[in-house]
Amino acid sequence: MDTGFMDKISFPKIKEVLKMVWDSPHAIFYRKKYEQAGLTPDLLVDPSIFLKLPFLERSELQATDPLQRLYIPREEIYFAAYSSGTTSQMPLITYYAKIPNYQFDPTLGLGVQRLFFLFPPINKHFSHTLAQQCDEAGTGSYPIFGDIYNLPNSAVIAQRCEADALFATPTLAFMLHPYVQKYYDPGKLHLVGLCGETLSAARREQLQKLYPAAKIVNLYASSEIGQYILFPCKELIEKDLELFHPHPALLATELLDTGELVITYAGNAAMPLIRYRTGDMFAYADAQCSCGKPTLQWKGRVNADVVRIAGMEFKLTDLERIMVSFADTIGDRYQVHFYQKLQSGGVETEMIVELAVPSNNELGASVIDTLMHTWHLTSYVTLGDAVMKGMILKPQVKFVDALSTKTEKTRHLINHID
């Protein structure tokens, strides 16, 4: 598997981390992993061995008790965090050591100060680290934490605290807007920082209209990393380029030939991540930036933003572009599910469109007609063409009280086919 490097690898620091995890008296997680791969301590001092280290998979972390992969004394644990389990349906627990300096300015150099957070992982267990980051940045900024379960109250809090920036998932930013419109003023927000879900071009355009005075900025983080590690500089933001720079705390940033991002991060001494496969897809970007840092472009989440079935490719970006025309009626209350159905002629692919709105036959027919004619699976083949050729059954609409797949991060494409 080919690997490309976006940045210089910090071999001296990586060697320190490898020595630490091999000699650690606290955990044998990595030592056992590397021994099984035929590696020995003397090999780890050779920089070239880095490319031979086995990747770290999320499934390995989930299968190992968090205390069995803890690389500091238990009494030095600062806090514990967990993922939402959106993809795997099982939360991933990670212990954290105290990090002396996060090296990140949450204002992104845009001059905002009152930062309103409505982002589940941060609101749940990273709020104190955001306060630390604001303090370390020395820009006079501070965080304000909303209530993800009470959006009207959140808008009131934003108003009373005179928030000038919003950090949320794209879905929560969309859902919050009517309450900001009612209780505050969308024009008061000059930065909307988004993370946790794919930001499609259609959703970005929609949010720009809802928050006309704001710079719409995409960020990247995860609960197992514990901080933003990909973000744009001020120049990229001002040029409205949907690109990222890697955080300097990353010891190595790799892209596999599939486009999957692999990171090495030792900021959290309790559990360093060595060649960790993130499951998120990126590409190198050609855009030049005066800061001289390499740039990445977001391409989506593995098994969440693209569904590939029998030679067909269903992309989330295309679906959201189509469904935005129904936003006033449906909003984000929809999911497209793929199943296999046994027919007399064999196994057929079935598509069910769930709409969590009151039953409306006219609306259902309009959604199906629009999907059939405008959802392009290739440059020349629409969903309607695929149905006509017998590649997939005609989509069916199902009106429901609540979407059947419930996750913290909004998911619109759900593949039930193994």
334-371 per-position pLDDT tens digit? 999 998 877 655 678 899 999 999 999 999 999 999 99
Backbone angles phi, psi at 80, to 5 degrees: -120, 145
- Residue 274 in this model has a pLDDT that exceeds 80: yes
Q: Are 330 and 355 in contact, with CB atoms under 8 Å apart?
A: yes
What domains, with CATH codes, occur in the chain? 3-96 (no CATH), 114-256+277-301 (3.40.50.12780), 306-415 (3.30.300)
CA distance 309 to 287: 33
Measured over the CA atoms of residue 229, residue 118, residue 174 and residue 279, the dihedral's sign is positive
Query: Exposed e or buried b for every residue in 92-116, given b needs 16+ CB within 10 A?
Result: bbbbbbebeebebbbbbebebebbb
Q: Which long-range contacts (CB under 8 A, 24 or more apart) does 79-83 make?
A: 79/125, 79/128, 80/125, 81/121, 81/124, 81/125, 81/126, 81/223, 81/226, 82/125, 82/223, 83/121, 83/222, 83/223, 83/224
User: Which segment of 84-93, 160-169, 376-385, 405-414 scores lowest on mean pLDDT?
Assistant: 84-93
Calculate the alpha carbon distances from 81 to 56, 230, 256, 276, 415 in Å: 19, 20, 28, 18, 28
Matching residue, tokens 């630490």: 20
State the pLDDT at residue 1. 44
Number of H-type helices and E-type strands within the chain: 12, 20
How many other C-beta atoms can be found within 10 angstroms of the C-beta atom of residue 309?
Answer: 17
46-95 per-position pLDDT tens digit? 878 888 899 999 999 999 999 999 999 999 999 999 986 555 557 889 99
State the pLDDT at residue 69. 97
Note the pTM of the prediction, 2 decimals. 0.80
Q: Are 412 and 320 in contact, with CB atoms under 8 Å apart?
A: yes
Find the mean pLDDT for residues 148-153.
94
